[in-house]
């Protein structure tokens, strides 16, 4: 039950030269939390809807928070709706948690030393574990890392997955990330059009 944390660690370890989209990371983290909570026996997925079970004490306050946030009355929440609701700001929440636990620190901005810079991951056993997990090629973790923009290659072994819950969650994460990218592209086109109009009118 550490998929979400391992993913958050890798996101913080990403190079500033190749930054990841925080929205993509947040959606992938929300999906990872679902899979962690499936493993903990806290939910099942029935026809793409989350059916809550017992509320486990996982020892991870963000996972416990996620389990407490499930809709517990029918009609249950869809996986897609959960990803958008839970995913909002989730990357920042994990970054703050890792920082509070001493696994990351704030760098200082070079131009404005009084202002904090980006959160930087420290060399810890947790970082080593996450990087080893990515290197292992574990298909589910690799799929989530790909959705988060942390690696380019989608594992071929995904086709061999037979767990309906896992495949449903991964598919929903992939669809949500593509939808978010579509929103970003539309905004970029709209902003570009507005800039052209503005320049033309000056």
14 has pLDDT over 90: no
Looking only at Cα atoms, what is the longest distance across the chain? 62
> Which pLDDT score is estimated for 107?
66
**Mean pLDDT, residues 6-33:** 89
Euclidean distance between the first and the last CA atom of the chain, given in angstroms as a whole number: 57
Residue 41: helix, strand or coil by DSSP?
Answer: coil
**Mean pLDDT, residues 68-76:** 93
> Which pLDDT score is estimated for 17?
67
> Which pLDDT score is estimated for 114?
42
Q: What DSSP character marks residue 78? A: B
- CA dist 27 and 168 (Å) reads 14
> Which pLDDT score is estimated for 49?
95
Assigned token pair, 86: 């839970």
> Which pLDDT score is estimated for 189?
80
Contact 53, 106 (CB under 8 A): no
Banded model confidence at residue 184, pLDDT cuts 50, 70, 90: confident
> Which pLDDT score is estimated for 196?
63
- Residues of the chain with pLDDT > 90, as a percent, come to 53
47-64 tens-digit pLDDT: 899 999 988 888 899 999
> Which pLDDT score is estimated for 71?
94
Mean pLDDT, the chain, rounded, equals 85
Contact 145, 7 (CB under 8 A): yes
Whose structure tokens read 């099942």?
44
78-125 tens-digit pLDDT: 999 999 999 999 999 999 999 888 888 876 555 544 445 567 777 888
126-176 tens-digit pLDDT: 889 999 998 988 889 999 999 999 988 766 666 667 788 999 999 999 999
Highest mean pLDDT among 7-21, 70-84, 106-120: 70-84
191 has pLDDT over 60: yes
Whose structure tokens read 């579509």?
182
């Amino acid at each position: 039950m550490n998929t979400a944390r391992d993913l958050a660690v890798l996101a913080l370890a990403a190079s500033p030269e190749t930054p990841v989209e925080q929205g993509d990371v947040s959606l992938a983290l929300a999906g990872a939390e679902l899979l962690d909570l499936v493993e903990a026996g806290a939910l099942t997925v029935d026809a793409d809807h989350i059916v809550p079970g017992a509320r486990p004490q996982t020892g991870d306050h963000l996972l416990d928070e996620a389990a407490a946030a499930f809709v517990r009355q029918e009609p249950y929440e869809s996986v897609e709706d959960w990803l958008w609701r839970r995913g909002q700001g989730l990357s920042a929440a994990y970054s703050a948690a890792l920082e509070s636990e001493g696994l990351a620190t704030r760098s200082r901005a070079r131009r404005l030393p009084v202002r904090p810079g980006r959160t930087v991951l420290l060399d810890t056993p947790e970082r080593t574990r996450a990087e080893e997990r990515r290197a292992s090629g574990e298909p589910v973790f690799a799929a989530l890392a790909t959705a988060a923009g942390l690696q380019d290659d989608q594992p071929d072994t995904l086709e061999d997955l037979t767990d309906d819950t896992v495949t449903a969650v991964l598919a929903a994460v992939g669809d949500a990330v593509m939808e978010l990218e579509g929103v970003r592209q539309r905004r970029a086109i709209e902003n570009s059009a507005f800039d052209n109009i503005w320049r033309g009118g000056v």
